[in-house]
Amino acid sequence: MVNAPQPAKASDGLSVSNLGVAYGKRTVLNAMSLAPLPRGSVTSIVGPNGAGKSTFLRAIAGLVKASGTITLGGIDLQTLPAQKRAERIGFMPQSVPARVGLSVLEATIGAFKAIDSVDLTLRAEAVAVATLEGLGILPLALEAFDTLSGGQKQLASLAQAIVRRPDILLLDEPTSALDLHHQLQVVTAVRRVASSGTIVLMTLHDLTFAARWSDRIAVLGGGRVYRDGVPAQVLTSETLARVYGVSARIEPCSQGFLQVITDADL
Amino acid sequence: MSISASGQVVLAQYARITRRRMFFMAALVLVVLLALLADLCTGPSGLTVAQIWSAVVGDETTSRSTAVIIWQIRLPTALMALLVGTALSLAGAEMQTILDNPLASPFTLGISAAAALGAALMMVLGVGVLPLPVDMSVAGNAFLFAFLCTLLLQFITSKVKGGPEVLVLFGIALVFSFNALLALLQFVASADALQQLVFWSMGSLGRATWPAIAIVFAVVCITLPFSFRACWQMNALRMGEERARSYGIDVARLRFYSLLRVSLLAGAAVAFTGTIGFVGLVGPHIARMLIGEDHRFFLPASALAGALMMIGASIASKAIIPGVLLPIGIVTSLVGLPIFFVLIFRRWSKG
């Protein structure tokens, strides 16, 4: 909890209720609901592998077909046409393709112009440059995407997700496979984006990291939201035992941040 | 939007890169035009550049035979080379992007195999599917089969999940199916028809007539603007399909219309020149190595690289053995391969 989010009307934020996703006959998500997420808040989605964290993000982004309602500021996103919905949502996949063939700036401009291909004014370039500068990666602007390090790629990827200034930013494991320095770089950038009013949802595996940097945590287990709330309420020995089947203690460090310490035995 | 000083520097650099690419494209256009001129000047009849020029501009002093050589043989051949190279390479470039597979080309997915089967159907069995005059029905069949092959690919993609990999696998299966059917036709063909078929398969610019040129030209002119209009969407697709969809791009629709363009381009090219395999695969790779993968430049550069390769092959087919016109399909590969190897080694050589 870095910046306490502005108290906002519930109708202004993001609400998810009764979200369900099925692949064929297999139900992946079943009637998932989240308490309304205010603007400027960062929520981490945690849970065991296969719990449906990524599917949950994809369902909100409209990348997989889902039942239920997702409202933003009172508007049901499910009823919006794909383009209108995409304008409000930035989505960052877990990884970028091995071979992209574009420079960082080209990819960022592309993200801005992807739908409206007629707009050939200078604006897109300026917006892209400002976005890269905001993330501190302006020096990489003209580098080839394919030559970047893992951490740089994630930041460049984040630039594409936020270049249209979305209302909702969805990040699929933004810090996995990154070193400590780059994890911090990415998460502070994400917090900065949130502080301008964006609603951020990200999937994470590192619970201590999630507790440190999120306003809220939603624990997924068994195809539904098992717990949802502020980290101190959600992260308990009981939750971890139930959802992960792991015996662990949750203790505050000297500065008050929660730490998850696993016991030796399951 | 206020931009910092260092941001301005980056913008200026980017503008410079863009200008350099534009300049490079202009240079490539010039090279293609020069090659076209060289193609006009190559041939067994030993015409001088002055004679050729006066024939092209329609000078009164031009002898009748010179005018015939230029207007009935050299100009159609050269223009057909330009158009077919453009069409095949552009088709290959689009396919490689939308299928996210550097091996994709009209030939990998059975489109030209289908065209060959259609042509063989007319040559061997005399079955013209479209109601066309006899001299156009081989081309008509080839085009129709190429087009149907693409529709079949489309149908399959709409029926299965899994995206480009499935499409590529299915395309390869189609290649083998059509080739087997073609072999069957060859087996029952008369000696005459077989010879005709073999020559058709080797590819030739000799069949270039003005109506044929007009048709291929029209197809290129119709598809090109739509290709360019999709360039930002194709750039987005380079970042992965899911990402492109998150931008709001209807990827299935993009793929459908792109394959439709591919079928028109490849169908028209193959119909009038036969099987010319190498350009659609290599043209885009040469463009990629020269100018990168921003589709605003990559698509036109692919078209130009393909045109240049075909014209070069056309020149070589006349010049390698004086007095003998070698089949263009063979020469394209022979001329294109060394260039391709050089580019590969320059790009991926160690150190």
Quote the pLDDT of residue B246: 94
Q: What tokens appear for A88 in the block?
A: 């409000």
Mean per-residue pLDDT for A65-71? Answer: 92
- Can you give the residue range of the structural domain that contains A155? 10-262
pLDDT digits (tens, 9 = 90+) for A196-207: 999 999 999 999
d(CA A85, CA B73): 57
B235/A contact by beta carbon, under 8 A: yes
Burial of residue A122, with CB atoms counted within 10 A of its CB: 0-12 exposed, 13-18 middle, 19 or more buried = exposed
CB atoms within 10 A of CB B183: 10
CATH code, domain with A75 = 3.40.50.300
Quote the pLDDT of residue B249: 93
Mean per-residue pLDDT for B13-25? Answer: 95
Contact of B206 with B43, CB cutoff 8 Å? no
> Is A210 within the bounds of a domain?
yes
CB pairs under 8 A between A and B: 110
Q: What is the Cα gyration radius of chain A?
A: 19
Quote the pLDDT of residue A27: 85
How far from the centroid of its chain's Cα atoms is residue A141's Cα? 23
| Predicted confidence (pLDDT) at residue A119 exceeds the cutoff of 60 | no
Q: Which residue has the higher pLDDT, A216 or A9?
A: A216
Quote the pLDDT of residue B351: 52
A123: which chain B residues are within 8 Å (Cβ-Cβ)? 1
Question: What is the percent of chain B where pLDDT is above 70?
Answer: 98
> Is A117 within the bounds of a domain?
yes
* B230-244 CB burial, b ≥16 within 10 A, e <16: bbbbbbbbbbbbebb
Q: CA torsion angle for B74, B80, B83, B89 (degrees, to 10)?
A: -110
| Predicted confidence (pLDDT) at residue A1 exceeds the cutoff of 50 | no
Give the one of B7, B240, B250 whose C-beta lies nearest to A130's C-beta: B7
Give the one of B4, B13, B240 whose C-beta lies nearest to A93's C-beta: B240
Instruction: Name which of B105, B80, B85, B111 is nearest B215 in CA terms.
Output: B80
Sorting pLDDT into bands at 50, 70 and 90, what band is B267? Answer: confident
Quick check: A117 and B232 CB within 8 A?
yes
Quote the pLDDT of residue B139: 85
- Of A46-60, A89-103, B18-32, B324-338, the least confident: B324-338
Q: Which residue has the higher pLDDT, B245 or B330?
A: B245
Global confidence as pTM: 0.89
Q: How many domains does chain A have?
A: 1
User: What are the sequence ranges of the domains in chain B?
Assistant: 17-348
| Predicted confidence (pLDDT) at residue B350 exceeds the cutoff of 80 | no
**Interhelix angle A150-162/A104-113, nearest 10 degrees:** 20
Quick check: B239 and A96 CB within 8 A?
yes
Mean pLDDT (chain A, rounded): 88
Quote the pLDDT of residue A10: 46
> Is A217 within the bounds of a domain?
yes
> Is A56 within the bounds of a domain?
yes
Quote the pLDDT of residue A118: 44
- A contact residues 78-97, partner B, Cβ 8 Å cutoff: 82-87, 89-91, 93, 96-97
pLDDT digits (tens, 9 = 90+) for B86-111: 999 999 999 999 988 888 888 878 88
Characterize the bridge pairing of strands A258-262 and A248-252. antiparallel
Quote the pLDDT of residue B299: 97
Where do runs of H (alpha helix) occur along chain B?
A: 5-41, 49-56, 64-68, 75-98, 111-125, 134-159, 164-188, 191-202, 210-229, 231-237, 241-246, 251-273, 278-291, 295-319, 328-348
Mean per-residue pLDDT for A175-204? Answer: 93
Nearest chain B residue to A156 by CA: give it.
Answer: B239
| Sign of the alpha-carbon dihedral angle for B291, B296, B298, B300 | negative
Where do runs of H (alpha helix) occur along chain A?
A: 53-61, 82-88, 104-113, 123-134, 150-162, 180-195, 207-213, 231-234, 237-244
B1/A contact by beta carbon, under 8 A: yes
Mean per-residue pLDDT for B151-174? Answer: 80
Quick check: A129 and B10 CB within 8 A?
yes
- Of B80-94, B127-141, B178-192, B215-229, the least confident: B127-141
d(CA B208, CA B73): 8
To the nearest whole angstrom, how far is the Cα of B103 from the nearest Cα of chain A? 14
B14: which chain A residues are within 8 Å (Cβ-Cβ)? 105, 125, 141-142
pLDDT digits (tens, 9 = 90+) for A3-32: 444 444 445 799 999 999 988 888 888 888
| Predicted confidence (pLDDT) at residue A95 exceeds the cutoff of 90 | no
> Is A1 within the bounds of a domain?
no
| Predicted confidence (pLDDT) at residue B21 exceeds the cutoff of 60 | yes
Quick check: B235 and A106 CB within 8 A?
yes
Which residues touch B215 (CB under 8 Å, ≥6 apart)?
Answer: B268, B272
The amino acid at residue A34 is L
d(CA A45, CA A53): 6
- Indicate the CATH number of B17-348 among 1.20.1540.10, 3.40.50.720, 1.10.3470.10, 3.90.1150.180: 1.10.3470.10
Quick check: A114 and B230 CB within 8 A?
no
Q: What tokens appear for B145 in the block?
A: 């089969």
Q: What is the Cα gyration radius of chain B?
A: 21
Quick check: B245 and A97 CB within 8 A?
no
Instruction: Name which of B102, B21, B22, B92 is nearest B306 in CA terms.
Output: B92
Q: Which residue has the higher pLDDT, B84 or B139?
A: B84
Q: Which residue has the higher pLDDT, A261 or B348?
A: A261
d(CA A229, CA A93): 25
> Is A5 within the bounds of a domain?
no
* A202-223 CB burial, b ≥16 within 10 A, e <16: bbbebbbbbbbbbbbbbbbbeb
Nearest chain A residue to B102 by CA: give it.
Answer: A99
- Containing H/E element for A89? strand A89-92
Quick check: B10 and A101 CB within 8 A?
no
Mean per-residue pLDDT for A252-257? Answer: 87
A86: which chain B residues are within 8 Å (Cβ-Cβ)? 246-248
Quick check: A86 and B247 CB within 8 A?
yes
Contact of A18 with A31, CB cutoff 8 Å? yes
CB atoms within 10 A of CB B194: 17
ipTM entry: 0.89
Q: What 3-state class would DSSP assign to A149?
A: coil
Nearest chain B residue to A169 by CA: give it.
Answer: B246
β-pair partners for A251: A259
Quote the pLDDT of residue A201: 97
